[in-house]
Structure 1
Amino acid sequence: MTTTEKAAMPERRKPKAIEFTILYGWHAVISGAFIVAYFSGDEDTYAMHQFAGYLVLAAIAVRVTAAVFAPQGSPLRIRCPTLAPLAAWLAALAAGNRARIGGPPSLPRRPFFALMATVLLISIGATAASGATADFLPFVEHLHEALGEVALWIVLGHVGSVFVLNALPKLWRRSAGGRLWPTNERC
């Protein structure tokens, strides 16, 4: 290759609709099971709590397995969170640079989401695994309860950040000059 020739850019794989359907179905199963497990932890509904907890554990196992075998570019694949792209993405977010946050020429797949997915899978997985362990080793129950409380706040942070990050492009379209917040007083 000479200095004037450019290397061919690899073509990005377009995700298939079935991959998104699987991902949304998985979200429905794990969020429903997590909600049921969280609110059914008392003595009267312990069987329901136990079933929902094992369903969460199974859903995480299926998700991690799918992530390992999913092709590159698939939404089922879990990206490895790295700090450099995350720092650049957060700096672009703070500066209000919408082209670097989510539009085309953007950072790939929002590095914040990769970090969030990893933290969610670890926290919810640890909660579910400690619950399964507590069935056989009762002294783990307090750890399970503490992890459940932490996981709830992480889940709520996930829901809030997804709403905020998906609402930002709408705010930018409404704002003057592509800034995050409009400068005129009529809004």
Structure 2
Amino acid sequence: MSSNELDQAKQMLAELDANSTRALVRAVNYAAVKARTLGARLIRDEVKLPAAYVNARLKVDQRASATDPSAMISGRGRATQLSRFGAKQLTTKAKLPGKRRLAGARVEVTPGRKKVLAGAWLMKQKGGNTGLMVRTGPNRNDYKPLYGPSIDQLWRNIREQVAPEVSDLMLSEFIRQMELT
């Protein structure tokens, strides 16, 4: 919704009676929750992340109220570690019989498209997370974790797809709420 449309909505809200205002606020909040649910599903279709991870990081930040008829959905802005995308450590036979050595890692950011990262390995980090690391230099501590897109980036990519369906939901919910009053 553009700022011009938001200003028009605020003007219309000032002219509505209390029942209409309450119905509008309920409709907007209902549509925001449905948009978040639909957005989380579309994000999981776009990238291979667990539902619990996406749901915990995609939130309705601002709910509509009588003074402000808008709601806002946003995701966590920090990048997602690549190890969250179904990373699997690969090994190969070593020279000694019965021994194995690291041979990179496989990740699946986009569902159905697995990619092998040669020279990468999974490593426990401080705080209990597991990170997918890659070497940056010859010394022992010359490595860095690899990252994928953040939930907020993914939300920004798909929110335009959600808008038409949510607009229809909001209108039908507003009509339903008006009939109840």
TM-score interval, smaller chain = under 0.3
- What is the TM-score with the length of structure 2 in the denominator? 0.22
Point out the structure with max Rg over C-alpha: 2
By relative contact order (CA 8 Å, sep 6+), the higher-ranking structure is 2
Write 1 or 2 for the structure with the bigger share of helix: 1
- Identify, as 1 or 2, the structure richer in strand: 2
Under a length normalisation based on structure 1, what TM-score does the superposition of the two structures give?
A: 0.22
